[in-house]
Amino acid sequence: RKEVEQDPGPFNVPEGATVAFNCTYSNSASQSFFWYRQDCRKEPKLLMSVYSSGNEDGRFTAQLNRASQYISLLIRDSKLSDSATYLCVVNSVNDYKLSFGAGTTVTVRA
């Protein structure tokens, strides 16, 4: 079983729509959770950390459900510039390493 699993999508949404997707992780000892963004043929960049109580950053909302071992990302009022692949990232007990999901592709159309 993969350590981090994501629905690959693609999610094709019109501008202004809301889109949400989940990621599941297998290691119950995982401690830290993040969403990274990767634009086509570019390097991944941190979008936001995911906190236990859930958190927002502008139009982006992240949630963590430890009991069911999943995290989610919701994007409100989608912009064309939100088109990207969103990577679910988990930092396990070992501080050194991150585990990356394969990514969920979002395409926002005009």
Partner 1 sequence: NAGVTQTPKFRILKIGQSMTLQCTQDMNHNYMYWYRQDPGMGLKLIYYSVGAGITDKGEVPNGYNVSRSTTEDFPLRLELAAPSQTSVYFCASSSPGRVGETQYFGPGTRLLVL
Contacting positions for partner 1 (CB under 8 A): 4, 8, 32-34, 41-46, 49, 87, 89, 91, 95-98, 100-103
In the complex, the smallest distance separating the C-beta of residue 15 from partner 1, rounded to whole angstroms, is: 26
At closest approach, how far in Å is the CB of 1 from partner 1?
A: 14
Using CB atoms within 10 Å of the CB of residue 16, give its burial: 0 to 12 exposed, 13 to 18 middle, 19+ buried: exposed
Nearer to partner 1 by Cβ, of 1 and 41: the residue is 41
In angstroms, what is the minimal distance from the CB of 43 to partner 1? 4
By C-beta, is 26 or 91 nearer to partner 1?
A: 91
Count of other CB atoms within 10 angstroms of residue 44: 18
Shortest spacing between CB 50 and partner 1, in angstroms: 9
Q: For residues 58 and 104, is the Cβ–Cβ distance under 8 A?
A: no
Compute the distance between CA of residue 107 and CA of residue 110 in angstroms, rounded to an integer: 10
Q: Which C-beta is closer to partner 1: that of 12 or that of 31? A: 31
What is the H or E stretch that residue 102 is in? none
**For partner 1, the closer CB: 51 or 77:** 51
DSSP helix/strand/coil, 59: coil
